[in-house]
Amino acid sequence: MNIGRFIGTLQRHRAGWQAPVVTLVAKRGAAPFEILVSTLLSLRTKDEVTAVAAQRLLAAARTPQAMLALTQADIRQCIHPVGFAPTKARRLHEISRMLLEKHDGQVPDNLAQLLELPGVGRKTANLVLSEAFGRDAVCVDTHVHRISNRIGYVRTRTPEATEFGLREKLPRRYWRAYNPLLVAFGQVICRPLSPFCSRCPVARMCPRVGVTKSR
């Protein structure tokens, strides 16, 4: 797989694909805390639901101090119907308190400290580093994991293994662009089940590893 050619082809065809919601939030000039909140809300939730929920919540609380001023019930009401709303409301309180107690109310800009925040895993931490701080980071969600294996670029069983595989193999200049590009591609064309191979711009490059049915 010529990964540069693959990425370049997708970039030329991405105009009609919706960027991931966290990328859109970042492009509007959101602060790191707003990007962190949006990323947490997006977990296991469709982008269209996340976008509305994040807008409602951030209109009420754009800082850790303001978030703690809301009750967890208030937060749940703002973010309904995102997935796991009660857990996310509790996590947002816990994270806001920890940011104020340990980081002067600021979102840390390094992986180790981000991973110490309650409910923040490697995917969330890497996405915040990339979108909030412009750092080179490899963010692997289900789309990136699936597509990277489907095109045969890595052969891994878990998103975390895919992250480390990409860190070793993917040229660093592509790290930041890789996640938003593959997420948009995966939502529109390279679907989990029965992908749209007949209208895929990179179909001729793809070995379709694991694909048993396509459209």
CATH number of the domain to which 184 belongs: 1.10.1670.10
Question: Distance between CA 138 and CA 168 in Å, rounded?
Answer: 11
> Which range marks the domain in which residue 103 is found?
21-133
Give the pLDDT mean for 123-135.
95
Q: Of 133, 158, 174, which residue constitutes the final position of a domain?
A: 133
Q: Say if residue 166 is in the same domain as residue 197.
A: yes
**What pLDDT, on the 0 to 100 scale, is given for residue 17?**
87
**What pLDDT, on the 0 to 100 scale, is given for residue 76?**
96
**What pLDDT, on the 0 to 100 scale, is given for residue 15?**
87
If phi > 0 it is left, if psi is from -120 to 50 it is alpha, else beta; for residue 99 that is alpha
Helix orientation angle between 72-79 and 85-102, rounded to the nearest 10 degrees = 120
Q: Say if residue 109 is in the same domain as residue 36.
A: yes
Q: Say if residue 25 is in the same domain as residue 129.
A: yes
**Of the listed ranges 40-54, 143-157, 184-198, 200-214, the one predicted with least confidence:** 40-54
Q: Domains in the chain: how many in total?
A: 2
**What pLDDT, on the 0 to 100 scale, is given for residue 24?**
87
Q: Which band of pLDDT confidence, cut at 50, 70 and 90, is reported for residue 21? A: confident
Q: Say if residue 94 is in the same domain as residue 157.
A: no
Looking at every residue in the chain, the average pLDDT score rounds to 95
Q: Of 91, 110, 133, which residue constitutes the final position of a domain?
A: 133
Q: Say if residue 28 is in the same domain as residue 102.
A: yes
**CATH number of residue 122's parent domain:** 1.10.340.30
With the CA atoms of 198, 199, 201 and 202 taken in that order, what torsion angle do they form, in degrees rounded to the nearest 10?
Answer: -30
With the CA atoms of 135, 120, 148 and 25 taken in that order, what torsion angle do they form, in degrees rounded to the nearest 10?
Answer: -60
What is the amino acid identity at position 136?
Answer: D
CB-CB contact of 79 with 56 (8 Å): yes
What is the amino acid identity at position 83?
Answer: G
Q: Which band of pLDDT confidence, cut at 50, 70 and 90, is reported for residue 144? A: very high
Q: Which band of pLDDT confidence, cut at 50, 70 and 90, is reported for residue 142? A: very high
Tell me the helix, strand and coil percentages in the chain, rounded to 5. 65, 0, 35
Give residue-wise pLDDT tens across range 30-81. Answer: 999 999 999 999 988 888 899 999 999 999 999 999 999 999 999 999 999 9
195 within domain boundaries: yes
Q: Say if residue 177 is in the same domain as residue 196.
A: yes
Where does residue 160 rank: exposed (0-12), middle (13-18), buried (19+ CB within 10 A)?
middle
Assigned token pair, 147: 């597509």
176 within domain boundaries: yes
**What pLDDT, on the 0 to 100 scale, is given for residue 19?**
81
Q: Say if residue 147 is in the same domain as residue 72.
A: no
**The residue count for the chain:** 215
Q: Say if residue 105 is in the same domain as residue 51.
A: yes
Q: Of 108, 133, 158, which residue constitutes the final position of a domain?
A: 133
Contacts with 144 (C-beta within 8 Å, 6 or more apart), sequence order: 159, 162, 166, 178, 179, 182, 183, 186
pTM of the model: 0.90
Q: Say if residue 201 is in the same domain as residue 153.
A: yes
Q: Say if residue 79 is in the same domain as residue 157.
A: no
213 within domain boundaries: no
Give residue-wise pLDDT tens across range 95-120. Answer: 999 999 999 999 999 999 999 999 99
Give residue-wise pLDDT tens across range 166-189. Answer: 999 999 999 999 999 999 999 999
Question: Distance between CA 180 and CA 62 in Å, rounded?
Answer: 24
**What pLDDT, on the 0 to 100 scale, is given for residue 173?**
96
Q: Say if residue 58 is in the same domain as residue 143.
A: no
